[in-house]
Structures are given as structure tokens and as C-alpha cells.
Chains A and B, each alone.
Chain A
Amino acid sequence: MFGYMGKILRINLTTGVIGTEDLDFELAKKYIGGRGLGTKMYMDEVDPQIDPFAAENKIIFINGPLTGTATPTGGRYMVVTKSPLTGCIASSNSGGEWGAYLKYAGYDAIIIEGKASLPVYINIEEEKVEILPALDIWGKYTSETSAALKEKHPDSKVLTIGPSGEKLSQMAAIMNENDRAAGRSGVGAVMGSKNLKAITVKGAQKPVIANPDGLKAVTKECRGMLKENGVTGGGLPTYGTAVLVNIINEHGVYPTNNFQGGHDPGAEAVSGETLTEEYLIKRNPCHHCPIGCGRWVKSEHSPEGVGGPEYETLWVFAGDLGINDMNIVIDANYWCNEFGLDTISAGATLAAAMELYQRGYITDEMLDDDVILKFGNAESVIHWLKKMGKREGFGDLLARGSYRLADFFGVPEYSMSVKKQDLPAYDPRGIQGMGLQYATSNRGGCHVRGYLISPEILGLPEKLDRFELAGKPVWAKIFQDLTALIDSTGLCLFTSFALGAQQYADMLNEVLGTEWTADDILLAGERIWNLEKLFNLEAGISPEEDTLPPRFLEEEMPEGPTKGWVHKLDELLPLYYQERGWDEDGIPTDERLEKLGL
């Protein structure tokens, strides 16, 4: 068996039984790995109707076949479970080093089942796998947890949840290497529900490569393409993802005050250019990554600096809250990492709370005369973020995310979310294709389930008219399928700014000994997309949830270069379903499923 390690670790936290199983190679090739194979394995074992916090639920940590190989960015892992935030399939991806180390420990995946009676962590050192007590680290921040576990297991990599995961916040992330996150869909809370605090891994095994010389050649070619490309060889290494602040803002699709506006005249203060000039200490790349978009920045929390904010984080703790203070954003990012909170959903929940305050639903009395949750009120951000993390007072309501918060007041329309997951930093009214992708994303509001920002705003690989509807369903499908494939390989999505389907096929072929074409792997991506859709349907997520908050469908953008636009989802959605080969209600047809081998 090439590429994969061939072994899956199964750990039952109720019984304490630990076992290994052989990987089904044929199944692995059909679903590739990571997001695809993880979803298939999960669906084969878990009832889609399950309560995500039930002991019978499972959580899978799974690599792709390229994780831990010499391929550029080949170090990513995926967390697959049912999301407590959305009720949809949750696949949450993370970089850093942990995924590669899981492979070096000799495993393609870990399936966690059951629930420990007391807090535990799992230590994996190749064949030695142990469930150990975690009472001393339960309640600790993620950096404290990592430091304590590094002392016990010096050469291991640590994946952990913070207090938010322990307290079952639907926005809880799983952190590794302190500042890398499987951030979205509340996967950290599923770990917390199992009383599982952390997983440490180390090992010295390597996957066997089908064609080492071929892999060397294709890796060299891909590294060259990444270096030559203006984005992966220039913009991202120099400025990080933060470089998007200005370009998104200038197009009038930079959401302000919970998406009430689309342009922020003060955004330069939190731009990638400002972050680089005034705060950057060094780049902070993930495993085997020649791009290195990660930032390490100045902070009052440590003289050595802390992990820096991504674009989405900059936006959500600045423009979306009506505040433009880089120090607050860096601080908010720091506290999200410490509590183990998804920065997008945490910030978006504060933004929704501020709009609810603006409209009189939240009153000073409800906040116990505490700091006012008001757009522009800088002191409210860290204050309420910590209360959200601790689930203290009104923070307990905030910890449930923007949808449940707004729904509590009877006005869910003020949650800027799709399928209860908060939207990222792009207003769909001025990016029609991206809005379609938001509405149809299998894990709810998301920008990494197909990133049409690339052609519609950034002009990559070619510039599309962002207001035009024609052709967008075709683009949406291709981007979604390719993304599903890349997420299953173990590589970073950012490679796709420079590489195409052919390069991914080449890398997989050299590692696995397959002879796939670009079309073959796009078909695999489509298979994975449809599989996720089937899970959601069986979980009771109706196609009616393929929609956008009413604000985008009814309220014209009030300002800037997108002024006067709404999103035209009703025109795009039927064409998208047709493009996918689904029926008019958005259900995959038997014919299409058969073609996909599902």
C-alpha cells in the first residue's frame, strides 16, 4: 500500500479499548482521504440523526495521502464529525505539524468513540497508545495545556481544546501548535463532550511512495509554480492573508457593522500592509509549506510575539464591529486561540449582539449594567470575548453563536449565517457567485468550500464580472468539487492559486501509484460533495436551508461600489441544481449518484 500508512486507530473512551484496523485501500482510493474518506467512514458508522454531543457520536481525525510526504504544504489533517453548530457534516481542516506527526506515528486516521467518565487525553507514540488522566489540564487555556503536555511528552505535537470546547460552545475549535485551528463548525465541543482534552502524537515512520523519483520531479515542478506565482510566491508570503483587507474593502464588499454596510474608510489601520510594516516579527509556515502565509506578530502577551490574525479575523474584530484597532484584533485572536474558539463565529456573534443592541433587543439591564455591546465600543470586544469563553453571565448566550443568540430574541434574521454557521468576510450582494457558494455550502456559511472571490474580485485565474449571473453555477460547481478534492489530499487550499487539477493528479499518482487524470480527481471531488449532501439530507437539513439571510436578498447595499445590489439567489439556485444534476428541489438524482458510484 503506497502513500497511506494502512492503519486506523480506534479508541473507545467509554470502555478504554484501543485497537487498530487495516485501512480499506480500495475505499481510500475512491474517497482519497481527509475530508472525503473521513466523511465516508463517519457515515458508515454513525446515524446522521445523532445528537452531536451523544456518547454514540464519533469524531475522526484523518490525514490525506499526501500528508507527511514531501509535497508542498503536505501536512494537513481533517476533523470529521457531525457539527453541533449546524447539524450538518463538519469537516474542519488544520495545518501546522500535528497531521504529519500522526502519519509518522503510523496512522492514517483515529476514530474516537464513546465518552470518558473523567477528563482524559490520548498519547500516541507509534504502537504505544494510552488514555491518560487530564484532570490537571482540564480548564486550562490551550497554550498552558500544550506547554504542560510538551513537558510530559517532549518530542510530541499537541492537539487540544480550550475551555470553550470543554464548556460545549457550538463555536469551539480544536487547536494544534497553539495557533493552528480546525476552527469551524464547533468540532472542539464534540471533543469536549467526550471529556477528551488533547491528543499528543509522535513517531518516526514514513509512508512508502510508489514512485519516489517521479514524486521528486513533480514536487520540484509544483514548488517552482508556487514560487513563480504572484500570490503564492509574492502576496501571501509577504503580507499573509491580511492583504485582502484593502482589496475587498475597495470593491465595496467588506462587511461593516454585521453586514449593514460594505465599505470601511478606516480599514487601512487593520490591513495586511499595516500588519506587515508595524507588527510582523516573522513568517510562521505550516509543515513543508513554501508559501508561509502564517504570521507571528508583536503582542503584549509575550515578548516573543504571538500567532497573527488571518484576514477573516482582522475583518470580524474590526470592520464588522465598527472598530479599527490592530491591537484589539491581535488580542482577540490571541484569546480565541487560548479559549479554543473559532475567530469568525466568535467575532460574528459579537457583531450580531451589537446589532441586537442597536435595535433594542438586547438592553443594558440584560447585560447586568456590564460593558455595553455597541458597534464602535472598543472596550467591549475582549471583555465579552472572555465572558463568551467562560460562559459567564450573558456570555453564556453568546457562546451559542450568532444564530442561537438572535433566535433567542425571536429575530434569527440578524444572524448573518447560513445553516447557522457565520458568514466570512465577503458581502454576497456584490459577489454573486460567492453568494451562491455560501448558500449551497455543505457545512454552512463558509469561504473554503469554493472560493469564487478569486475570479470575481481578485482576477485569478481570470477576471469575472462579479455582478453577472451567467456561468456562475458552472464556476461554483467546479470550485466546490476541486476544493473537496484538495481537502482530501492533505494539501493546503492555497496551493490552488498556483496549481491546477493536473498537478494534484500528478502528485497523487506518484505517491499512490495510480494513473488518474485531472477529470478523474474532479469526479472524486464531485463524489465527495454529493456524499456530504446525502449526509445532510439524512440528518434532516432540508434544501430550503440552501439560502442566505434575508438582508442579502431584500436590502440593497447602501453604499460604496456595490451600492444598490442585492443577491439574486432565486435566479442562480435552480441553475446550480441543474448543473449538479440534482432535481429541482436540490436532491441528488439516482442517475447522478450512480454515475458517481454512490
Chain B
Amino acid sequence: MAISIKLFANFREGRGKIVQMDYTPGMTGQDVIDALGITAPEIAAIIVDGVDGKVDAMLTVPVKDGGYLAIFPPVAGG
């Protein structure tokens, strides 16, 4: 199966809104961002299958088959 990666703000440039990626057992967020050419320091927030947390920790969480990631650069407002 595949996993979906939802990208936001300038992470969409040259990549699109949603990227589909083949699932391989044991793959983590780090594998995903490596494949997308995004580095951890560029990420301000990340959600893996509905769960958010510190970026470094979340990048080590195994992704579920058929699951999703949402990745955000620094954004704010109010």
C-alpha cells in the first residue's frame, strides 16, 4: 500500500499538496523527508497518523501502512 504526505506552505513548492509514497515496513518520517529532500531543521511541526510531537521524536516513529504524515515549515499568525 501507499502512505500520503500532506505538505503545506512553501513545502508545496515543486512537490505539490499531497505526495503518495510506497510503504515499506519499518519506514519512518525520517525516510519520508529524506525522499522529499526536506531536512529536519526546516520542519516546525509534524503529525504522523494524527499524532503530533517534537519533530525529532516524531521522525523516528514508524509510519503505518496506509497512514499519513502532515509536515509544516515555520508558520504562525493569530
Spell out A's residues near B (CB within 8 Å): 229-231, 234-236, 238-244, 246-247, 250-252, 268, 272-273, 293, 310-312, 424, 447-448, 451, 453-454, 457-460, 462-463, 465-466, 493-494, 497, 560-561
Complex interface: chain B residues within 8 A of A234 (CB):
10, 73-74
Q: How far is the CA of A494 from the CA of B75 in the complex (A)?
A: 12
**A247 and B45 within 8 A (CB):** yes
Spell out B's residues near A (CB within 8 Å): 6, 8-10, 12, 17, 44-45, 47, 50-55, 70, 72-78
Q: How far is the CA of A358 from the CA of B52 in the complex (A)?
A: 33
**B74 and A241 within 8 A (CB):** no
**B52 and A448 within 8 A (CB):** no
**A448 and B78 within 8 A (CB):** yes
Q: How far is the CA of A312 from the CA of B78 in the complex (A)?
A: 7
Q: How far is the CA of A236 from the CA of B78 in the complex (A)?
A: 10
Q: Which residue of A lies closest to B6 (CB)?
A: A250
Nearest Cβ in chain A — how far from B42, in angstroms? 8
**B72 and A247 within 8 A (CB):** yes
Complex interface: chain A residues within 8 A of B50 (CB):
252, 560-561
**A460 and B8 within 8 A (CB):** no
User: Given the interface contacts A458-B44, A561-B52, does A273 sit within 8 Å of B76 by beta carbon?
Assistant: no
**A311 and B78 within 8 A (CB):** yes
Q: How far is the CA of A231 from the CA of B72 in the complex (A)?
A: 11
Please, could you name 30 A-B residue pairs with CB atoms under 8 Å apart, sorted by A? A230-B74, A231-B74, A231-B75, A231-B76, A234-B73, A234-B74, A235-B73, A239-B9, A241-B77, A243-B75, A243-B76, A244-B75, A244-B76, A247-B8, A247-B75, A250-B6, A250-B8, A251-B52, A273-B17, A311-B77, A424-B78, A451-B78, A457-B52, A458-B44, A460-B74, A460-B76, A462-B54, A493-B78, A560-B50, A561-B51
**B78 and A235 within 8 A (CB):** no
Q: How far is the CA of A446 from the CA of B12 in the complex (A)?
A: 31
User: B78 touches which one: A229, A241, A247, A465 (CB < 8 A)?
Assistant: A241
User: Given the interface contacts A293-B77, A310-B77, A459-B45, does A238 sit within 8 Å of B10 by beta carbon?
Assistant: yes
Q: How far is the CA of A460 from the CA of B54 in the complex (A)?
A: 11
**A458 and B8 within 8 A (CB):** no
Nearest Cβ in chain B — how far from A93, in angstroms? 12
**A244 and B73 within 8 A (CB):** no
User: A236 touches which one: B52, B54, B70, B76 (CB < 8 A)?
Assistant: B76
Nearest Cβ in chain A — how far from B9, in angstroms? 6
Q: How far is the CA of A241 from the CA of B70 in the complex (A)?
A: 19
Complex interface: chain A residues within 8 A of B12 (CB):
273
Nearest Cβ in chain A — how far from B22, in angstroms? 23
Tell me the interface secondary structure of chain A in the complex: helix
Complex interface: chain A residues within 8 A of B51 (CB):
561
User: A250 touches which one: B9, B47, B53, B74 (CB < 8 A)?
Assistant: B47
Nearest Cβ in chain B — how far from A425, in angstroms? 9
Q: How far is the CA of A268 from the CA of B16 in the complex (A)?
A: 13
Nearest Cβ in chain B — how far from A491, in angstroms? 15
Complex interface: chain B residues within 8 A of A493 (CB):
78
Nearest Cβ in chain A — how far from B19, in angstroms? 15
Chain B CB within 10 Å, residue with most, of A243, A448, A462: A243
Q: How far is the CA of A230 from the CA of B9 in the complex (A)?
A: 12
Q: Which residue of B lies closest to A276 (CB)?
A: B9
Nearest Cβ in chain B — how far from A207, in angstroms? 28
**A497 and B76 within 8 A (CB):** yes
Q: How far is the CA of A240 from the CA of B75 in the complex (A)?
A: 9
Known: A458-B72, A462-B54. 6 other contacts (CB 8 A): A229-B74, A235-B75, A250-B70, A457-B45, A465-B53, A561-B47
**B45 and A235 within 8 A (CB):** no
Complex interface: chain A residues within 8 A of B72 (CB):
246-247, 250, 458
**B47 and A236 within 8 A (CB):** no
Chain A CB within 10 Å, residue with most, of B9, B44, B73: B9
**B78 and A447 within 8 A (CB):** yes
**B9 and A238 within 8 A (CB):** yes
- Nearest 7 A-B pairs (CB), nearest first? A241-B77, A230-B74, A235-B75, A561-B50, A459-B44, A231-B76, A243-B75
User: B9 touches which one: A243, A312, A447 (CB < 8 A)?
Assistant: A243
Complex interface: chain B residues within 8 A of A238 (CB):
9-10
User: A235 touches which one: B52, B55, B70, B76 (CB < 8 A)?
Assistant: B76
Q: How far is the CA of A239 from the CA of B17 in the complex (A)?
A: 15
Q: Which residue of B lies closest to A230 (CB)?
A: B74
User: Given the interface contacts A460-B44, A465-B53, A561-B47, does A244 sit within 8 Å of B6 by beta carbon?
Assistant: no
Q: How far is the CA of A551 from the CA of B17 in the complex (A)?
A: 34
Chain A CB within 10 Å, residue with most, of B12, B47, B77: B77
Complex interface: chain A residues within 8 A of B78 (CB):
241, 244, 311-312, 424, 447-448, 451, 453, 493-494
Q: How far is the CA of A273 from the CA of B73 in the complex (A)?
A: 13
**B54 and A463 within 8 A (CB):** yes
**A230 and B47 within 8 A (CB):** no
Q: Which residue of A lies closest to B43 (CB)?
A: A459
Complex interface: chain A residues within 8 A of B17 (CB):
268, 273
Nearest Cβ in chain A — how far from B70, in angstroms? 5
**B75 and A239 within 8 A (CB):** yes
**A454 and B53 within 8 A (CB):** no
Q: Which residue of A lies closest to B77 (CB)?
A: A241
Nearest Cβ in chain A — how far from B60, in angstroms? 15
**B6 and A458 within 8 A (CB):** no
Nearest Cβ in chain B — how far from A307, in angstroms? 16
Nearest Cβ in chain A — how far from B64, in angstroms? 14
Q: Which residue of B lies closest to A462 (CB)?
A: B54
Q: How far is the CA of A494 from the CA of B73 in the complex (A)?
A: 17
Q: How far is the CA of A457 from the CA of B54 in the complex (A)?
A: 10
**A240 and B77 within 8 A (CB):** yes
Complex interface: chain B residues within 8 A of A448 (CB):
78
